[in-house]
Each structure stands twice: as C-alpha cells, then as structure tokens.
Structure 1
Amino acid sequence: MQTELILRRARSDEASALTELALAAKAFWGYDDDFIESCRAEMTFSPGDVAQRHIVVAEVDGEMVGFYSVDGEPPTGELGNMWVRPDQIGTGLGKVLWQHAMATAAAAGHEHLDIDSEPYAEGFYLKMGAERVGESLSGSIPGRVLPRLRVAV
C-alpha cells in the first residue's frame, strides 16, 4: 500500500503531540535527559499557541512525522520550529517541510526568515540556502549560544 504525505495546519488538540515530537527530535542529537528537561518549557506548545501560530504538520498514514512554524509579521519572519520525528530524519522529509515553509512564507509576504538553529541542524539549513548572520542566546540553557541564520524567501 502506498503511503501519502499530507501537509496541513496543526490543530489545537495536537499541542501535546507537537511538544513530544519536538522533544524527541531534540533528543535525537544525543542530549541527556537533564538537558531535554531544561528545554521542555521553551519547547512546550499550548492549544492557544497552536491556534494563534502558523504551524504545519506533516502526516503519514495518520501519524505526525514532522512540523514547522512560520512566525512573525512580514517582511522578516521566523522559522520558529522545524522538527522531524527521529525515524524520519534522513528520508527527505526535512527538505519537503523546508520547501513548504518557504512557499508559505512567500505567500504571507515574508522577504526573509530568521532561524535560531539547533546547532546540529545548522548544516541542513545552510545546505537549503540559509546564511549564518550571528548568534542568539538559548532561551532554555543559560550561556548556551545558538547559530542565528537568515534565508531569503
């Protein structure tokens, strides 16, 4: 049976599933449990967050396998999230989500998107055309610095 990838807006009742997928994707990079728990508050979605933000879910056979969010007002927005379920990393899903996010941002009138990147994902974003423009402080881990990227939409 052929599996079909569906991209659709996230629903408010999926807030906890979005949170758990994001935390699982973060843990993929080998962070220990204490580190992941330190990130939990920043990476937790509430039903209100989902209702107010532009979050797009990737679904295969009824299961959430990834998602992204485009946040902020044009002309410069933010790729606020882009997470792929660990068993889907390396399958091309990230590129599909990226292309959809760029089309979504363009349709909303964004000229650029900024990205505070997971350090291990920086190479992916650079390959997709983003450029490093600086650094940002982590909202979860005091003193931790994240790559700050920007991509023209």
Structure 2
Amino acid sequence: MRVALRPANAAEADTLSQLALRSKSHWGYDKHFLDACRADLTLSPDEIVARRAVVAEIAGQVVGFYTLDGEPPEGEIGNLWVEPTRMRHGIGRLLWHRAVTAGREIGFRSLLIDADPHAEGFYLAMGAVRVGDSPSSAMPGRLLPRLRAVVSA
C-alpha cells in the first residue's frame, strides 16, 4: 500500500468534511452528538488553503487528512482524520509526522491538539503530553483532552 501525501485543494472541502464525520462516527457517537459536531467538522473551500490542509491518498482515493492552523510560535492540529476502514494502518502516524515536519518548517515551537477522547492515546503515543482540558464548541459542558507536542529542535 503506497500512501501519497499532498496539499489538499479547495474542491475537496466536501470530501474532507464527510471523511471527518465518518471518522468521528467510528467511535459510536449517536446521531444527536454527530449532528452537534457537524459544523466543527465541516471545512469550506477557503479553509483548505488557509488551514494548510494535507491529504493522504491511496491509488487516488483520499484516506485521511490534517489541518495545521495558527502562526508561530505555536500552531494547532485542527483536524487529523483517517478513513475508518484505513485506521491502524499507519496513515495517522504518517500524517502526524508530516504535520510535525511542516510545523517545524513554519517555525512552530509546539503544536496544540484538542483531541477527541478516543484519539488521546494516539497523540500520547506520538509524543504529545496532556496539558489540560478544552471546552467542546459542539457540546456545552463536554471537555476535550488538550495536548501539546514540542516540534522545535
């Protein structure tokens, strides 16, 4: 399986938004919760470039993506999603390493991540550390694990 990484293009906004929703739904959330998350998981064409979106694809099919937000000295992984059928195949790790490299090249010292609780273990395994909680914009009263990864040398 050859995974190619490339910048996303504006025409892929809907494809990436739907992928994010499928990936989120993988964790068994109910329809009410997923509907509440829909706006946060939806990317507009203008956001694709502004948020430095990068996709992973296999044989021309998009199987994951990330967005790298912010300006130095601290950036943020706004999204990192993998197609559910492709989870646990190294695609998330590949996207993570590309995001860290890109962040370092931009001049970020660290990256913040407001993670889905089900993804916290992944980010910890990638070297991030939990630094607190962040309120969910989709669900009042819900807290998300906030993590930080140092990316500068």
Normalised by the shorter chain, which TM-score bucket? over 0.9
What are the superposed Cα offsets for residues 96-148 of structure 1, whole Å, 9 maximum, x if unpaired?
11111111101111110000000000001001100000100001011110000
1:4-19 matches, cutoff 5 A:
4-19=2-17
Return the alpha-carbon distance in structure 2 between the equivalents of residues 136 and 53 of structure 1.
20
After superposing on structure 2, the runs of 4+ consecutive aligned residues of structure 1 that deviate more than 6 Å are: none
Shift of 1:51: 2.8
Return the alpha-carbon distance in structure 2 between the equivalents of residues 47 and 31 of structure 1.
27
Report the TM-score, using the length of structure 1 for normalisation.
0.96
Q: Pick from 45, 54, 57 the counterpart of residue 59 of structure 1.
A: 57
Residue 93 of structure 2 is matched in structure 1 by 95
Q: Is the 8 A contact 2:3 2:91 kept in 1?
A: no
Residue 120 of structure 1 is matched in structure 2 by 118
Gapped regions of structure 1 (runs ≥ 5): none
Return the alpha-carbon distance in structure 1 between the equivalents of residues 2 and 122 of structure 2.
24
Return the alpha-carbon distance in structure 2 between the equivalents of residues 94 and 77 of structure 1.
18
Q: Pick from 77, 82, 87 the counterpart of residue 80 of structure 2.
A: 82
Report the TM-score, using the length of structure 2 for normalisation.
0.96
SS state at 1:54 partner: coil
User: Alignment length, in residue pairs?
Assistant: 151
For the aligned residues, what is the CA RMSD?
Answer: 0.8
Gapped regions of structure 2 (runs ≥ 5): none
Q: Pick from 114, 133, 136 the counterpart of residue 134 of structure 2.
A: 136
Return the alpha-carbon distance in structure 2 between the equivalents of residues 58 and 33 of structure 1.
27
SS state at 1:41 partner: helix
Return the alpha-carbon distance in structure 2 between the equivalents of residues 132 and 147 of structure 1.
7
